[in-house]
Amino acid sequence: MSDDLLDKDLLRISNLNVQFRTSEGVFKAVRDVSISIRSGETLGIVGESGSGKSVTALSIMNLIPNPPGEIKGDIFFNGQNLREMSPEEVRKVRGNEISMIFQEPMTSLNPIHTCGKQIMEPLLLHKGFTKHEAKARSLELLKMVGIPLPEQRFKEYPHQLSGGMRQRIMIAMALACRPKLLLADEPTTALDVTIQAQILELMKNLRNEIDSAIIMITHDLGIITEMCHSVAVMYAGQVVESGPLKELIREPLHPYTEGLLRSIPTITKEKQRLYTIDGTVPSPFNMPPGCSFQPRCKYSNPICSEQTPDLIHVSEERAVRCWRHAENIGIGNRSVLHG
């Protein structure tokens, strides 16, 4: 990749591999993932449980414990390789320039500290604010995320708040230092639909306000459609397809994406039998040979079970990991991203 491109991207992950050594064997959670995102953009990572989407996010934050985790690959943030930084340097970036909203607001807030103290923490740590300044800024943040009576909430503990409120506190914490990159790992999964709508609206407004890049990790294609500019679909630890949202939804290239889109019931679809993808996600300890989706794929060819397809670019912005498209393009003029 040229230096030119590196500069334009806020975050570029290339050939990320994460594996865990367990008593049952080596478990490859993330295999050869390369994604990039620019400022102001929202990238959606969609996949089922165990597809490696959360592990990808945790590796960006350098939160994978080692051992048992082993990370290979490069993560460039603002031109710097996060993988080559010392723990102290990474700590300066984490919570400051990159921050994360976790899935469970119930378990990711500290129950023995007040909400106010937790929002103030990154400000005191990274920005060198005095306590007084930090408090003023925290109250501002609480107001911004739409919490009524911020002065009172500031003094309360997480258990005194509802799920939606706690998620807002998490968002306020994540936004405290005006991060350049926000990782949102299933930010609304634990919430009710009406509260989910509020949180998504809030995140959209904040994105416009701070102009940060957001990586939205979810299994809900509806949320992706609503929030994101581009999408990466993950299956069994690999990115199987990526591209701009509208094109990907309208014309999915990978059989898994196609199946996923067709199998979701929606309120606009006619009532008819749901399309199903047969079988289940393969066990990480027992991956099928060749393409990992091949045992469930309706287009499967002999080559699919023999060789692993590469992620190939079918156009400037779209890439797919499937032999069908490798053949369509012809081996001669395909541009291999990595392999």
Partner 1 sequence: MDDSVLVQVQNLKMYFQTEGSFSFSKKYIKAVDDVSFNLFKGETFGLVGESGCGKSTLGRTVLGLYKPNAGKVIFEGENIFSLKNKRMKEMRKKMQLIFQDPSASLNPRKTIADILNEPFHIHQVGTMTERKGKIKDLMDRVGLSEYHLSRYPHEMSGGQKQRVGIARALALNPKLIICDEPVSALDVSIQAQVINLLEDLQKEYDLTYLFISHNLSVVHHICNRVGVMYLGKLVETGNHEDIYRNTLHPYAKALISAIPHTDPDNPKDRILLRGDVPSPANPPSGCRFHTRCPERTDLCSHAEPQLKEVFPGHFAACHLC
Please report, as ranges, the residues that interact with partner 1 according to CB under 8 A. Answer: 48-49, 148, 162, 164-165, 192-198, 200-201, 219-223, 225-226, 245-246, 249-250, 259-261, 263-269, 271, 273-278, 280-281
Question: Closest CB to partner 1 among 279 and 339?
Answer: 279
Measure Cα distances from 309 to 109, 303, 320 in Å: 42, 9, 9
Give the residue with the Cβ less far from partner 1, 306 or 317: 317
Q: Does residue 184 sit in helix, strand or coil?
A: strand
Q: What is the helix (H) or strand (E) element at residue 231, kind and residue range?
A: strand 230-235
Q: Which is nearer to partner 1, 52 or 259 (CB)?
A: 259
Of 76 and 235, CB closest to partner 1: 235
- Token pair of 77, please? 């943030």
Query: 200 near 188, Cβ under 8 Å?
Result: yes
Q: Write down the least CB distance from residue 228 to partner 1, Å.
A: 9
Minimum distance of partner 1 from residue 194's CB (angstroms): 5
- What's 278's DSSP letter? -
To the nearest whole angstrom, how small is the minimum distance from the Cβ of residue 267 to partner 1?
5
Q: Smallest distance, Å, CB 9 to partner 1? A: 23
Separation between Cα atoms, residue 322 and residue 313, nearest integer Å: 11
**CB 162 to partner 1: min, Å:** 5
Structure tokens of 285?
């300890």
Between 125 and 249, name the residue whose CB sits nearer to partner 1.
249
Q: Residue 291, exposed/middle/buried by CB under 10 A (0-12, 13-18, 19+)? A: buried
